[in-house]
Amino acid sequence: MTEKKKDILMGANGVVMIVTGAFGVLVWPLLILLGFAWTGGPPNFERSVSAPYVIIMSCGLIAAICGLVTGIMIIKNSADQGKMKTTLAVLTAILYLPGIALLYLMYWYSLSFLVLLLGFAPPVLYLLRTHCKNRERKT
């Protein structure tokens, strides 16, 4: 595979991360608000949204923001920010996992699969590509 083709694949991965991050910034707050709507508001204080639900959905929101920033950094292709891109990609992948698990436990299988495919997979693919690139440089 030529170097240009690898750059095209990396750019496509960055675009997917940008689109997914922008979509996630819109969806995760809605999921947080949905939790508040399901559990009642101020007149019904006998039911309240659980703290773990809010924390997990907030992790998803933070992951979406990190993915958006990482995608922008990949598209800019700045070599001086290599460690920062890697750190943000790892953080993005880790922070999506609790949200995926919670969505699966809430029987929203299709949404959890969508987050797994579009939110978790691009940072992991980016990390695999950079790892392979670094191994090629060493040999």
7-28 per-position pLDDT tens digit? 777 888 889 999 999 999 999 9
In a domain, 103, yes or no: yes
Compute how many other C-beta atoms are within 10 angstroms of the C-beta atom of residue 110: 9
Give the CA angle between residues 72, 14, 58 to the nearest 5°.
Answer: 70
* Residue 132, pLDDT score: 84
Query: What are the percentages of helix, strand and coil residues in the chain, rounded to 5?
Result: 85, 0, 15
Chain-centre distance for alpha carbon 115? 8
In a domain, 92, yes or no: yes
In a domain, 138, yes or no: no
Residue 27's domain spans which residues?
3-133
As for how many domains the chain has, the answer is 1
Comparing 130 with 95, the larger pLDDT belongs to 95
Q: What confidence tens digit (pLDDT) does each residue in 37-64 have?
A: 766 555 555 556 677 888 899 999 999 9
In a domain, 90, yes or no: yes
* Residue 134, pLDDT score: 80
